[in-house]
Structure 1
């Protein structure tokens, strides 16, 4: 086989990610982190009925407990991503992992609404920079033609954590009470942070045993200390429409993360074992959707589509499909149809997730931490308002028809905005002395 033929076949298949590459261990470590992070941020949904009962909370108060996490998560996204770039992913994720592990432990020790709010606030603060910092690690270790795939696979791991949390937490509630899941996962989080620090290096060339071939496959980004200044104006102008689309994605995602166990418990009268299993069945659709979405958009990219068009195609398919599948929920259908509709809607919704996280890597690889933090601010803001508004609507109307109808409207708006946005590459700022020559501002 000639070198040219081999190159063409690699282009069709994509650059290898895991096999015979040091980056394989990086991707696996990140998958584990995403799994743990989403398990420990979403186990509160399954524990929700038990927490509401023990602390005598209303649905709106429980929604506030979910929202306070998102408040700190949203406010510190951009700053957290920027700090992660400054100190590097190795030290950044060590510090963040230890902090979110401690906050998860503290959640298991809460004695009422106030201490629960404090624990969730600390968790939001510590996790705010986690995914932007992880995205910076991916930008350094992943070939550009596999951005969608890697974002898809790590977010599939996060959705697996989300999907398994209801079963695992329900089992632990029956065995030893709702607090145990927070304590065990907090310890696991801190253990992961220590392993990450030992095994990861900020730059591929610093990793023992890495080959010249693998170094040639990934971008040679400068050290954290040598990164050029962030071109804030152009970055904001490019990423803001993506942030708005991410808000719409986040609104609906938070409905799934926060309220499915309560829906199944209150409307369909399922006990903890049954609603834990059914919630997991709903959320497992997202595991498939995330991976398939990333693979599909990268496949289009390798076949000549621009990065912009390949990401947009999956965004449109995902938002339209998610909205259509939510329509039956407005009419409170039988339990089986509810579970099937929710699972399909979540599958389509998660087709969009890899695209939203790949776009910052596509357009601003040097500042992918800051750019992804800027993008993910939309998800964080959605997490502030979605649980509170949905909880208030449920208290007011006595059901979930209005929250699902509102979610469908938001998905329609996301479809329109995703269809017209035009994110493009963001190069470094042009020095003032060169601006007159190049005509750039």
Structure 2
């Protein structure tokens, strides 16, 4: 039985807040790394390793958190996840050495892993089938809200002292947990919970689409997290911008992240008549071309325009791919399936700062080669999307689109 619509608004809002804060966290490290580098004397390779530690924890906990969302319910997983992030974020503001910073970011990644899997399970359990894709897109659009928070509130605090930013973020996470307790339904499992427990976990591994989307998001996120991690440093090194100027540009860019995410669901339904594959292919091709042009351009105006185009199309592609499982995968195993798919996302996020940091260091601080490599990664994502077998989630009938 689906919950009444009037009960879904506060539920969705509470998920969106938690999601937005996780994106604020992911974006804020890219700006905070500038004063952290200065304080600890880090080179780009060391900074890349610090940023990548987050994704090791994220990757390790993906499947366990998805499995737990299916078995014990998403509310418990979401509270445990955000509670872990809160603790890690608070202590990140205290530690003084690179080694301890890496350990704390690893723990933060462990907590982050449960947010997308449990949130997707909440959508699967509580939202009407025709609205699931839109609601999932709405939740994912908070990537832009998180970016705006990062480049306004976060950057203001970082300008004062980067540690203050993490203390403030920890307080916001506490508010998020409170809202989950207030707005989540007491009965968090779907009424079909007993049937869900009878579905063997092996069913998740039999679906080829799970692993195709895993690979597609891996290569897409090499680009997404690579550019998010290095954009502030790029503008500082290439154009001499300070944190204030960088925050203004990236604040506008964050708004476009939400626009790209929100528009994707509407465009897929109204323009492409539900053809996720065709829209994702066109979007990722434009994304790849824009990013390569961004890497090669030297004029600031062209660089910013290409960045904006890339942001719109890359986020539209990401939301389309991440929402697609609601059409392709049964509700009973969607938590575990999303966990595997998101391992691709997080592994791409882990690889990206390391690879780009190494390439930037190897080429004497030149960002072009690293950014072109990320553009090629987006092209590979497009080829992988071609392999997705579209089907009706309830019947398994292949539609061939």
Tell me the TM-score normalized by structure 2.
Answer: 0.91
Q: Residue 385 of structure 2 aligns with which residue?
A: 418
Shift of 1:228: 2.7
Q: 1:250 to 1:97 in 2, by over 3 A?
A: same
Q: 1:131 to 1:173 in 2, by over 3 A?
A: same
- 2:263 corresponds to which residue? 292
Counterparts in 2 of 1:9-158, with a 5 A limit?
21-158=6-143
8 Å CA contact 2:77–2:118 kept in 1: the answer is yes
Aligned to 2:306: 341
Counterpart pick for 2:193 among 213, 222, 229:
222
Aligned counterpart, 1:243: 214
**Cα distance in 1 for residues equivalent to 2:14 and 2:195:** 21
Contact preservation (8 Å) 2:70, 2:332:
no
Distance 2:361 2:166 in 1: 27
Give 2:370's aligned residue. 403
**1:390 and 2:348 equivalent?**
no
- 1:221, 1:202 → 2: CA distance? 16
1:371 aligned to 2:328? Answer: no
Which residue in the other structure is 1:187 paired with? 171
Please, which of 153, 162, 167 is the counterpart of residue 147 of structure 2? 162
Alignment partner of 1:420: what SS?
A: coil
CA displacement, residues 328-347 of structure 1 (integer Å, 9 cap, x when unaligned): 22324222221111111011
Match of 2:318 in 1: 353
- Name the CA distance, whole Å, in 2 between partners of 1:269 and 1:28: 39
Paired residue for 2:226?
255
In 2, distance between residues paired with 1:396 and 1:77? 32
Q: Deviations along 1:245-291, whole A, 9 cap, x unmatched?
A: 01111111102321110101111110111011112222322110000
CA contact (8 A) 2:151 2:248 kept: yes
Q: Deviations over 1:5-33 (max 9, x none)?
A: xxxxxxxxxxxx99x62111111111111
Aligned-pair CA distance for 1:223: 5.5
1:425: how far off? Answer: 5.5
**C-alpha separation between the residues in 2 aligned to 1:227 and 1:25?**
31
Cα offsets for 1:137-173 (capped at 9, x unmatched): 0101112222221121111112220233123222112
Aligned CA distance change for structure 1 residues 334 and 93 (closer, same or farther; 3 Å): same
Quote the Cα distance in structure 2 between the aligned partners of 1:407 and 1:383.
12
* Secondary structure of 1:352's aligned partner: helix
Inter-CA distance 227–338: structure 2 relative to 1 (3 Å threshold)? farther
Task: Give ranges in structure 1 of 5+ residues lacking alignment.
Answer: 1-16, 207-218, 429-441
Give a deviation string over 1:199-251, Cα, whole Å, max 9, x none: 212647x9xxxxxxxxxxxx854269745333446545330011000111111
1:273 aligns with 2:244: yes
Q: Tell me the secondary structure at the aligned position of residue 267 of structure 1.
A: helix
Aligned partner (choices 267, 289, 297) of residue 324 of structure 1 = 289
Cα gap change, 1:180 to 1:235, in 2 (>3 Å): farther
Q: How many residues align?
A: 392
- Secondary structure (helix, strand or coil) at the match of 1:76 reads helix
Check conservation: 1:167, 1:276, Cα contact below 8 A.
Answer: yes
Q: Are the counterparts in 1 of residues 143 and 257 from structure 2 also a CA contact under 8 Å?
A: no
Larger Rg belongs to: 1
Partners of 1:196 and 1:233 lie apart in 2 by 28
In structure 2, do the counterparts of structure 1 residues 407 and 337 end up closer, same or farther at CA, with 3 Å as the change threshold?
A: same
Distance in 2 separating the partners of 1:79 and 1:180: 32
Give 1:438's aligned residue. Answer: none
